Structure 1
Amino acid sequence: MQATGNMASIEPSNGLSKEPAEPANEPANEPAKPRKRSRFLKTIIRYKWLYLLLVPGVLYYIVYHYIPMFGLLIAFKDYNLMKGVWDSPWAGFDNFRTIFASPDFPVLIKNTVLLSFYRIAFNMLPDVMLALMLNEIRARWFKRVVQTITYGPHFLSWIIVYGLVFSFFAPGAGLFTTLFRDLGWGDLDVLTNSAAFRPMLLLTEVWKSTGFGAIIYLAALASINHELYEAAVVDGAGRWRQLWHITLPGIREVFILLLILRIGNIMDAGFEQVYIFLNARVYDVGDILDTWIFRRGIEQMEFSVPAAMGVFKSIIGLILVIGANRLAKKVGGSGIW
C-alpha cells in the first residue's frame, strides 16, 4: 500500500504538464512596421557597398530611359519645334491614324517581321552550334585561337562590314563581280538585287555576331556539373547521349531567355545594319519601321508621326515579351520573371 501511495504521488514526467499554457496571441512589445523598418535599415547598412555599386546603373536608366518617356507626348500632339512639347496643340490619335492609313505601312510591317524572324531562326542556332563545338575541343590553344577568330568581327562597326562587302560585291568594280565577269559567268548583282538583299543581311549578321553569342552559351556550359558526365560515362552513355541528355538541357534556360528577349525586339530588325546596306533599288524588301522613322523624323523634320510609330512598336514589343514569357513557363522554362 505504501508503494502504491508513492507511485501515486509521482508526477508525470512525459513532458505533459497540467498547468494551463500561456496565451499564444500575446501582444508584441513593438509594432510590426517599426520592426520591419529597422530590419530594412539594417539590411541597407550591411550591404551598403553593393547598393552603392547599384546607384550608377539606376541613375543611367532613370536619366536615359525613364525621363525621356515624357517625350511620348509628342505622339499625341501636332508637334512644332518652335513651340515645344507643352505648347504644341493636341492631335489625339490622328498621328496613329496617319500611320495605319499609309500605303507603306503593310510593307514596313512585313519587312520588319520577316527580317526579325529570319534573325531569330537562323542566327541563334549558329551561336549554339559554335558553343557546342568549342566545348568539345580539348586542345586549349586551338580553342582560344578559334574563339579569337570568331569573336573578332564583333568589334567591327557596320560601316566597316559594309566597306568589306562593297569591296567584294560592288556593281561592276568589286573583286567577285569582276572575277565573275572575266570568267564569262555574267554580272554578279548582290548589293542592288532584291532577291539577294535579305540573305546578305543574314550572312553578314551571322559572321559578325556568332562569336559573341557563343560566349553566353559557353558560360552556361561551364556551369553544368561535371559529375553528371562522369555518371553518364559509368552508365555507358556516349558523346551523343551526353549531349542530348545533359548538355542541351543545361543550356535550355539560357536559350529560352535569349529567345524571349529577341522576340521582344522583333519590331526592331537591326536598324544600323539595314540603314547602311539599304539603297533605293531594294526598298521593297529592305525598308523597315526604323528606317522609315529615321527618314520621316530626322530627314523630313516631322516628329509626331515617327513618335507615334515608336509608341506602336513599344506596345507590340511589350505584348510579345509578356506572351513569350508565359509560353516559356507553360513549356517548362523559367522565363524572365
Structure 2
Amino acid sequence: MNRQASLKTPISSKNEVKQKSALWKEIFRNRFLYLLLLPVAAYLVLFKYAPMVGEIIAFKNYRLSEGIWGSPWVGFEQFEKLFSSKEFYLVLKNTLLLNLYHLVFAFPVPIILAVLLNEVRVEWYKRTLQNLLYIPHFISWIVLGSIIIALLSPSTGFVNYVLQAFGLEPIYFLADKFWWPVTFIGSGIWKEAGFGTILYLAAMASVDPTLYEAAKIDGANKLRQIWHVTLPGIRSTIAILLILQVGRMMDVGFEQVYALRNPAVTSVAEVISTFVYTRGIVNLQYSYTTALGLFQSLIALILIVSVNRIIKALGERGLW
C-alpha cells in the first residue's frame, strides 16, 4: 500500500504542475483581454468593495465630529432600535409588495414584447418599433415623473380628460392608495420593458432555425412554435434574469419612488430607499440607516443564493 501511494504521489504532483503551467499559458495568450478587465476591477474595488468598510458604523453611534473610528461602539443597539420600530415594518412591507407586483406584472412584459418583435418580418418596421420602445429608458425619472404627473392630473391631465369624455369621474392616480402602486408599476413597465427585450431578442437569435422548420413539418402553428421552440430556447436567459430580479426584492430603487410619491400616499409609497434618504441623509441618522442597509443586503444575498439553488435544481444554469 505504501509503495502504491508513493507511486501515485509524483504522478498527481506532475498533473498539478501541468495544469498550472497550462493556466499561465492561457493567461499569457489572452493577456490583452485580461488587461481590459483592469479598469472594471479597479471600479469594483474602489466603489463597491472599499465602501464596505463603512458598514462598521451600523455597530456604532456614529458622529461626524468623531469619525468612523472615533465614534463609540454600541454593538447591536441600532438593530434593536430598527426591529422595534413600526416604521421599519411599514417600509419593509411596501418594498416587498412593490417588488412582488413588479415580479408578477412587469417581469413577463419584456418576454412577451421580445416574442412579438421576433415574429415581425418587415425589418424597417421592426427597427422602428424597437427604437420607440427603447426611448423611455434613456429619459431620467425626474423628467418622466413630471410627464406622468401631467398626464394623470385630475384637473388638466389627458387621461382624466378621456375618462370624463366617457362620463366617468376623474381618478386621483397619484393621491390614491390603490391607484398609486398601479401607476408605479405601469410607469416602470413603460420605461424599462422595451429596453429589457434586448437580452431576450439576443437569446432568440441563437435559437437553431431548423427547429422551427421541424416544428412546421410536424404541423405546429405559430403559437405552438413559440411555446415549444422559442420559449425553451430562451429559458436559461429567463432563469438568470429571474435570479437577478429576486435578488433585488429588497430594493425598489430611489428615483422613481421619489419622483412619484407625495404625503397623501406615504403609507404605500415609503420604501427602504426613501426611508434611508429621509432618515439617514436628511435627519443625519447614519448608524440607524446603515443598520437597515446591512439588513437589506443580507436578505438580498440569502434570496439570490436560494433562488440560484432552486433554478439549478430545476436543471437550468444559474449564476454560478
Q: How does 1:84-233 map to 2 (within 5 A)?
A: 84-177=67-160, 185-233=168-216
CA distance in 2, matches of 1:52, 1:326: 32
TM-score by length of 1: 0.87
Deviations along 1:230-265, one digit per CA (max 9) or x if unpaired, are 222222222222112111101111111101101001
Secondary structure of 1:194 counterpart: coil
Kindly tell me: are residues 124 and 185 of structure 1, through their superposed partners in 2, closer, same or farther at Cα, counting changes over 3 Å? Answer: closer
Is residue 267 of structure 1 aligned with residue 250 of structure 2? yes
Is residue 53 of structure 1 aligned with residue 5 of structure 2? no
**Counterpart residue identity of residue 109, structure 1:** L
Aligned to 1:7: none
Structure 2 unpaired stretches of 5+: 1-5
Secondary structure of 2:234 counterpart: helix
Q: Which has the larger radius of gyration?
A: 1
Q: Is the Cα contact below 8 Å between 2:142 and 2:255 reproduced in 1?
A: no
Structure 1 unpaired stretches of 5+: 1-22
TM-score by length of 2: 0.92
Shift of 1:44: 2.5
Equivalent pairs, count? 314
CA distance in 2, matches of 1:34, 1:162: 60
Q: How does 1:285-324 map to 2 (within 5 A)?
A: 285-324=268-307
Q: CA RMSD in A?
A: 2.2
Shift of 1:152: 0.9
Q: Is the Cα contact below 8 Å between 1:171 and 1:191 reproduced in 2?
A: no
Moved more, 164-173 or 209-218: 164-173
CA distance in 2, matches of 1:194, 1:139: 43
Secondary structure of 1:172 counterpart: coil
**Counterpart residue identity of residue 57, structure 1:** V
Secondary structure of 1:65 counterpart: helix
Report % sequence identity: 40
Q: How does 1:275-290 map to 2 (within 5 A)?
A: 275-290=258-273
**Counterpart residue identity of residue 87, structure 1:** G
Kindly tell me: are residues 79 and 333 of structure 1, through their superposed partners in 2, closer, same or farther at Cα, counting changes over 3 Å? Answer: same
Kindly tell me: are residues 182 and 73 of structure 1, through their superposed partners in 2, closer, same or farther at Cα, counting changes over 3 Å? Answer: same
Is residue 329 of structure 1 aligned with residue 312 of structure 2? yes
CA distance in 2, matches of 1:26, 1:154: 59
Shift of 1:177: 4.3
Q: Is the Cα contact below 8 Å between 1:75 and 1:305 reproduced in 2?
A: yes
CA distance in 1, matches of 2:166, 2:102: 34
CA distance in 1, matches of 2:143, 2:33: 39
Aligned to 2:48: 65
Shift of 1:24: 7.2
Q: Is the Cα contact below 8 Å between 1:169 and 1:190 reproduced in 2?
A: yes
CA distance in 1, matches of 2:133, 2:16: 56
CA distance in 2, matches of 1:162, 1:335: 35
Shift of 1:25: 6.0
**Counterpart residue identity of residue 103, structure 1:** K
CA distance in 2, matches of 1:34, 1:216: 40
Shift of 1:90: 0.4
Q: Is the Cα contact below 8 Å between 1:77 and 1:90 reproduced in 2?
A: yes
Deviations along 1:264-295, one digit per CA (max 9) or x if unpaired, are 01000122101111111100111111111110
Secondary structure of 2:107 counterpart: helix
**Counterpart residue identity of residue 71, structure 1:** G
Moved more, 315-324 or 187-196: 187-196
